[in-house]
Structure 1
Amino acid sequence: MNANGVVEAYLSTWNSEGEHRAKLIDEHWAPEVAYTDPLAEVSGHAALAELIEGVHQQFPGCVFTRVGDVDAHHSQLRFRWGLGPEGVEPSVVGFDVLVLDGDGRILDVRGFLDKVPAGA
């Protein structure tokens, strides 16, 4: 498993739009993916794409970046991420745990929010 590559594909998916996002989801996410964080619980490609689109609408012009190193073992990994305007300290910071399927695709995501601005 190339943990850094998985995280880059994950963040690229969250930062992309339209057909490019759909291609990344098809390539890097298992069809039965489950995604759970304090604000959402979805499963499957279509629901994931809808969730990502909602985040784009709520935080226009913001991008996801990796914060720190990736820690991985077996088929799971964890990392911190930030969300904010490019080149600026992130206004939202979270921590995700990913579990991969046998093909190395993202099967399960458990997300936690460490820093959220008031009113978000």
Structure 2
Amino acid sequence: MSDVTTTVRQYLAVWNETDPHRRRARIADLFDPAATYTDPLGEATGHDAIDGFIGGAQARFAGMAFTLPAPPDAHHHLARFHWHLTVADATEPVAVGFDVVELADGRITKVHGFLDKLPA
């Protein structure tokens, strides 16, 4: 489980990385080159598209950070985890969701995102 927890923390670190060059390097390290990302707001395939999707989310939610409120649950090549999108000093997260990631050889091949709470 510790490897999965590390992978999930690295995944959230990608979403929190605002430097485009460092974010792109993290994506290259963590995601398979043909990885896919899908959630209700969009989908992306490959490093360039995933990077663009994350950059767009960061522009929309500038100054906010993704956190892991509880350890991930994993079996076989799958992991699921809840995340919170937070603002410093806020008592409630701005957004809440959970993702399911598929893994192969320690890298993310697919992300299936679900949104439980979005800002108005």
**Aligned partner of 2:77: which letter?**
S
1:68 deviates by: 1.6
Question: What is the match of residue 100 of structure 1?
Answer: 103
3-state SS in 2 of match to 1:12: helix
1:79 deviates by: 0.2
List per-residue Cα deviations over 1:64-119 (Å, max 9, x = no partner).
00122210011110000011213423110001000012x2101000000001121x
TM-score, normalised via structure 2 length: 0.93
Equivalent residue runs for 1:102-117 within 5 Å: 103-117=105-119
List per-residue Cα deviations over 1:18-72 (Å, max 9, x = no partner).
1110110010110001100000111000000000100111001000001222100
3-state SS in 1 of match to 2:14: helix
1:4 aligns with 2:5: yes
Runs of 4+ in 1 over 3 A off after TM superposition: none
Distance 1:87-1:6 versus aligned 2 partners, 3 A rule? farther
Q: Residue 77 of structure 1: which of 76, 79, 85 is its match?
A: 79
Identical-residue share of aligned pairs (%): 44
Counterpart Cα distance in 2 of 1:77 and 1:87: 29
**Aligned partner of 1:66: which letter?**
L
Larger relative strand fraction:
1
Counterpart Cα distance in 2 of 1:85 and 1:30: 30
**Aligned partner of 1:95: which letter?**
F
3-state SS in 2 of match to 1:67: coil
Contiguous gaps of at least 5 residues in structure 2:
none
Aligned residues: 117
TM-score, normalised via structure 1 length: 0.93
Counterpart Cα distance in 2 of 1:116 and 1:53: 18
